[in-house]
Amino acid sequence: MKLTVLTENCAGGKLLAEHGISYLIEMDGEKILFDAGYSDVFIKNARTMGINLQSEVKKVVLSHGHWDHGDGLRFLDGKSLWVHPAAFMKRFRKRDFSPVGLSVSKAELEKKFRITESTEPLQITEDLFFLGEIPRENDFEAQTTSFTDHQKNEDFVPDDSALAAIVNKELIVITGCSHSGICNITEHARRVTGISKVGGVLGGFHLKYQDEQTRKTLACLKKLQTDRIFPSHCTELPALAVFYNEFKKPQLKTGMVLEF
């Protein structure tokens, strides 16, 4: 499996960056886009790297319905899109009721994509799985939220999902923001695929501080016995430092290519 970072918070080389995620995954003879960032940065960076997303990519997966992961979808069309049905809900920040959901509506996306909505896991290619809704089972992840819906009910981002790829009989877990918890996601990926050995975990971990949640998450990931741990995007600097000190992996930047 080959993964190319098209959009990330941190710029690499002569490529652009924004607050968002977009990864191009190549496996099973296909190219799959995971998230699309906020703007057309992912398309521009792909073009700089000699990749024509419109012609080369047929399948797109949206990790969850936040602007920094899905608003870039408005720059694509004619593709299949996999998403949790709650991704289209109206959602806001608690602190000021500013919007954080998708700025493009479901009706608009239905004109551009063949949409498959599912809370259950789905097989995208032979060895790549959309994980659907993530069970939240441990006592240290997804315990609080800074988001609400349009009626100011707490929004725990139930649509937060991820991908699980089977590579050489090992799992590679690819997440957008891990609002459901990266450890919850990893355990669910094991159940869905029947593969217990995890060879790598990457994407947003949604950790901010050097606090108990970060320490428990680190302990959980250390048990996987892999050093291919790449927290990014919504993982803020204090938490990033914790993972770097343990795993010594570079920060993900636009243009980076990981092969598993």
| DSSP class per residue in 113-125 | EEEEE-SS-EEEE
Token output for 51: 């990749």
CB 162, CB 189: distance < 8 Å: yes
How far is the C-alpha of 69 from the C-alpha of 224, rounded, in Å? 27
How far is the C-alpha of 248 from the C-alpha of 214, rounded, in Å? 16
pLDDT digits (tens, 9 = 90+) for 166-198: 999 999 999 999 999 999 999 999 999 999 999
Mean pLDDT for the chain? 97
Helix (H) or strand (E) run with residue 220 in it? helix 212-222
How far is the C-alpha of 238 from the C-alpha of 106, rounded, in Å? 36
Sorted by where each starts, the structural domains of the chain and their CATH numbers stand as 2-259 (3.60.15.10)
Chain-centroid distance, C-alpha 63: 5
Token output for 1: 């499996």
pLDDT digits (tens, 9 = 90+) for 126-142: 999 999 999 999 999 99
pLDDT digits (tens, 9 = 90+) for 94-109: 999 999 999 999 999 9
